Amino acid sequence: MASWDSKYETYACRVDQSQEDRSVEIPLFSMARPHMRAFHFAWLTFFFVFLAWFSITPLLSEVQKSLDLTKEQLWTSSIFSVAGGLVTRCLAGPFCDIYGARLISAAILFVCGIPTMFTGLVNSSVGLSVLRLIVGIGGSAFVTCQYWTSTTFTMEVAGTANALAAGWGNLGGGVAQILVGTILFPLFKLIYKSAGTAMDPAELSWRTCCIIPGLICSCFTFVVLRHSDDSPKGNYRKRKRLGLMQKDSAMHHLKAAVCDHNTWLLLIQYGCCFGVELTTTNAAALYFKEEFELSTESAAAIASTFGWMNLFARGLGGFLSDVSNAYRGMRGRLVWQFVCFALEGAFICAFSKANSLAGAIIALMTFSLFVQGAEGSTFGIVPYLNPNLTGTVAGIVGAGGSAGAVVFSIMFRQMDYRIAFFYMGVATTCSSVLSIFIWIVGYEGLFFKRRMPQLRAKQENTKTSPQTDASLSHEIELPSERLGR
């Protein structure tokens, strides 16, 4: 049964009314509104945005040749690409708390899709950097994805839900390598060669094949707006109009979230997993082409294996975090967090030392497994920091991914690829130690005892909830029929 203030009378999923009608289960093969529709639209939005965002990465060697770019200029554009989402990720969280994930997701899809279709108009390094900066705003789709699933499923299963949605969404980066680099690029090149065009067929191909992922991304905007809900109980705009939700400013939400030291520890750790993923996605095809003298198509195909691990690895990381929580509580989640980052860093270092193509591929897939696992583990912890500010916390932590990618991209711009990978691995291993200092009020730490629950209550009373305030129920006349009916 749905709560009295819900738009719906019944749900297709079992829900916990004490957690705002969030679902306690994840029936993956259902598309029923509102819970499973939100789940699938969350990861599909993320997927299509990443498909557009990384559509140019398998073509960077061709772009470099056509525009006569240096390695430094190429990596400057990659830095701008990941920097584009740095600020918008911080803003996307509070905006989700206020306006809901549906509207923000639609806006990101549109803003990312349109400029992607104009990739072929780039004629200079400055133009490439500006274009990738704008498209990089799409990186904030991760925040809307995690917010949507966190407010749709209970905290007990949020780790699995967040990890599955984010993992399948991240898969867009791997699909971009295959779709654009291995399928569209050679197909368009063949078409232009057969047509006998005066321009170089390879250049014409990279200038036109990004239209397709950009178009897909833009079209999905209208599907999200029309066929999904902000929350299990309905859309935020209507609920606020009826007085069922409080109205707060984005700045108020940001201020409340940044005061928790756990937010910053998870931000640094997320920079060492998602930041690693973004950097590797940008570097992998270039690395394999240069180090092992492969063709653009072959390098893109091998690089895609890194992204394809998202199909299950991030979901596995979140699932194991939930399992650890079931057995050992928050301490179990933190142990798994520590293990993921330690092994991730170790295998990145191993990848940097691999001299054979087969060894490099095996190391790449192994460290990808722990990269995605660490991401899933991190967002198994995020919903516990402050359930009332889920979007804001997710946005700040998510911005750590972009910040980490900027730092690591600067390393790759200045250093030899093997050396840069090694130092990235060392930094990741060191970040595992931060798990010791994550100490959430009301829960046990890795080596510390449970903090006093009354302190947690005091902390939460100082923060404004974007969800339905139970104290408002006596002030609101019970509607004679369901909201929206």
pLDDT in tens, 431-475: 999 999 999 988 889 887 765 454 444 444 444 444 444 333 333
Write down the pLDDT at residue 392. Answer: 86
Contact 125, 71 (CB under 8 A): no
Minimum mean pLDDT range among 10-24, 75-89, 227-241, 439-453: 439-453
Q: Is 327 domain-assigned?
A: yes
What's the chain's average pLDDT?
Answer: 89
Closest CA to 186 of 204, 168, 198, 169: 204
Greater confidence (159 vs 229) lies with: 229
d(CA 78, CA 73): 9
Rounded to whole angstroms, the Cα distance separating 476 from 120 reads 55
| Cα distances (angstroms) measured from residue 144 to each of 45, 51, 138, 457 | 9, 16, 10, 27
Count: domains in the chain: 1
431 within some domain: yes
Range of the domain at 170: 33-227+249-464
Q: What gap in Å lies between CA 424 and CA 277, rounded to an integer?
A: 11
User: What is the number of helices (H) and of strands (E) in the chain?
Assistant: 20, 2
Domain annotation covers residue 16: no
Looking at residue 360, what is its pLDDT? Answer: 97
Provide the pLDDT for residue 140.
94
CA dihedral angle for residue 474, residue 478, residue 484, residue 485, rounded to 10 degrees: 170
CA distance 81 to 79: 5
What's the confidence (pLDDT) of residue 196? 84
pLDDT in tens, 221-271: 999 999 999 999 999 999 988 888 876 665 666 777 788 899 999 999 999
Assess whether pLDDT exceeds 70 at residue 282. Answer: yes
Q: Do the domain assignments include residue 21?
A: no
**pLDDT single digits (tens) 190-214:** 999 998 887 899 999 999 999 999 9
Distant-in-sequence, close-in-space partners of 82: CB < 8 Å, separation ≥ 6 = 136, 139, 275, 278, 279, 282, 402, 405, 406, 409
Domain assignment present for 420: yes
Could you give the dihedral angle defined by the CA atoms of residues 324, 325, 330 and 334, in that order, rounded to the nearest 10 degrees? 30
400 domain-assigned: yes
DSSP-derived secondary structure letter, 184 = I
Token pair of 205 as six digits: 């191909």
Domain of residue 444, CATH code: 1.20.1250.20
- For residue 189, the model assigns a pLDDT of 94
Distance CA 139, CA 175 (A): 16
In this predicted model, what pLDDT tens digit does every residue of 391-422 receive, in sequence order? 889 989 999 999 999 999 999 999 999 999 99
Section 279-286 average pLDDT: 94
Q: Report CA-CA distances (Å) from 168 to 39, 127, 146, 282, 316.
A: 11, 31, 12, 19, 12
In a domain, 473, yes or no: no
pTM: 0.82
The tens digit of pLDDT for each residue in 111-156 reads: 999 999 999 999 999 999 999 999 999 999 999 999 999 999 998 8
Query: pLDDT > 70: what percent of the chain?
Result: 91
At residue 451, the pLDDT reads: 57
Residue 58 lies in a domain: yes
